């Protein structure tokens, strides 16, 4: 009998050593559903999956579905502190998770704040080369693939035209088909007029007038032309309606006073300690496909977008 004890004991140890998941609680890799209330240290609610809490906190959004948040634990879909804080929680258990800034949205970085004047000048004339080159794949993405040397093509979303001058395996050479006196609309807001043109260079003038309200490219706010002097126009930015704007680099907050515009690309929860009251509703393990609400699609606690290049 003694000779049977050792092999049986070794088998038991081997089997137990293979069990890394703890049943009934959240393990890394599980897909879970949770209800949560997110608060700041002063008790202010900044996000929740519960409709009644959102209404009481003045956060209710009729376009949002209030339901448990679904995500995969440890997959990097959530801020790190939330991901780790849910480990070991049982179904229907409620837990408070305190997350310092370094485990949430990082410390507040003054270098991510840019201040520009609210009243500024822009040139109303621009001079550029008539002839340009583009790699064939870039040219094709812009103008399509059906073209030949000598053909006139329209610049997308404009009334400008180009002439295809040459085509090689590495470049498409083209020239702007513009002549002195030509006028065409720009962004459906103002006209541009060709005031000089030769074989190599073209000069355009933006036909602004004092009092015009325009939106400049890359600016999320409108500006009013207050003066035109020589080759410059003076503009004043109008108060922005939405204090938070979405850009290809992430969400930025914008504020204005009489003299300056402040653009802050820090996450609005940067530098703050976050306190979540979390109730685990369900553990799905990793057996079901992702849903629309997985990975914090409607939640502030999902990982922040890629930071701006200036960060």
Delimit the domains of the chain by residue range.
23-107+268-285, 110-123+208-265, 125-206
Give the C-alpha separation, 120 to 208, whole Å: 15
For the domain covering 23-107+268-285, report its CATH number.
3.10.50.40
As separate numbers, helices (DSSP H) first and strands (DSSP E) second, the chain gives: 4, 21
Buried b (16+ CB within 10 A) or exposed e, 66-101: bebbbbbbbeebbbebbbbbbeebeeeeebebebeb
Q: ∠ CA(237), CA(240), CA(241), 5° rounding?
A: 150
Condensed to tens digits (0 to 9), the pLDDT of residues 242-299 reads: 777 776 566 788 999 999 999 999 998 999 999 999 999 999 865 444 444 444 434 5
**Running DSSP on this structure, what letter comes out for residue 12?**
H
What per-residue confidence (pLDDT) applies to 248? 58
Whether residue 212 is predicted with pLDDT greater than 50 in this model: the reply is yes
What per-residue confidence (pLDDT) applies to 157? 86
Whether residue 12 is predicted with pLDDT greater than 50 in this model: the reply is no
179 vs 172, 188, 195, 204, 220, CA distance in Å? 22, 21, 8, 10, 32
CA-wise closest residue to 25 among 77, 81, 86: 86
What does pTM read for this prediction?
Answer: 0.62
User: Which residue did the predictor score with more confidence, 9 or 30?
Assistant: 30
Condensed to tens digits (0 to 9), the pLDDT of residues 83-130 reads: 999 999 999 999 999 999 999 999 999 999 999 999 999 999 999 999
The separation between CA 27 and the C-alpha centre of its own chain, rounded to angstroms, equals: 31
206 in the Ramachandran plot: left (φ > 0), alpha (ψ -120 to 50) or beta?
A: beta
Task: Work out the average pLDDT over 295-305.
Answer: 44
Q: pLDDT band at 70, cuts 50/70/90? A: very high
For 114, how many CA atoms within 13 A lie in the half-sphere containing its CB? 9
Q: pLDDT band at 186, cuts 50/70/90? A: confident
Whether residue 46 is predicted with pLDDT greater than 60 in this model: the reply is yes
Task: Work out the average pLDDT over 67-74.
Answer: 95
Asked if 49 and 296 count as a contact pair (C-beta separation under 8 A), the reply is no
């Amino acid at each position: 009998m003694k000779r049977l004890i050792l092999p049986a004991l070794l088998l038991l140890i081997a089997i137990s050593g293979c069990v890394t998941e703890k049943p009934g609680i959240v393990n890394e890799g599980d897909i879970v559903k949770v209800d949560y209330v997110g608060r700041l240290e002063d008790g202010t609610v900044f996000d929740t999956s519960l409709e009644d809490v959102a209404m009481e906190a003045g956060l209710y959004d009729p376009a949002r579905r209030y339901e448990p948040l679904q995500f995969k634990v440890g997959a990097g879909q959530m801020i790190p502190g939330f991901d780790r804080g849910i480990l070991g929680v049982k179904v229907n258990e409620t837990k408070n998770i305190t997350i310092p800034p370094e485990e949430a949205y990082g410390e507040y970085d003054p270098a991510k704040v840019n201040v520009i004047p609210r009243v500024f000048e822009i040139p109303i004339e621009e001079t550029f080369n008539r002839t340009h080159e583009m790699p064939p794949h870039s040219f094709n993405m812009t103008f399509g693939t059906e073209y030949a040397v000598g053909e006139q093509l329209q610049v997308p979303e404009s009334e400008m035209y180009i002439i295809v001058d040459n085509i090689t395996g590495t470049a498409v050479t083209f020239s702007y088909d513009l002549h002195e006196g030509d006028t065409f609309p720009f962004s459906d807001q103002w006209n541009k007029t060709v005031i000089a043109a030769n074989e190599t260079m073209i000069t355009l003038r933006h036909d602004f007038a004092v009092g015009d309200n325009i939106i400049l490219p890359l600016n999320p706010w409108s500006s009013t032309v207050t003066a035109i002097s020589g080759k410059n126009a003076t503009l004043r930015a109008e108060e922005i309606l939405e204090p938070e704007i979405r850009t290809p680099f992430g969400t930025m907050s914008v504020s204005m006073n009489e003299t300056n515009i402040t653009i802050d690309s820090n996450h609005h929860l940067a530098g703050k300690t976050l306190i979540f009251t979390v109730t685990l509703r369900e553990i799905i393990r990793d057996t079901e496909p992702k849903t629309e609400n997985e990975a914090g699609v409607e939640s502030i606690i999902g990982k922040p977008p890629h930071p701006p290049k200036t960060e």
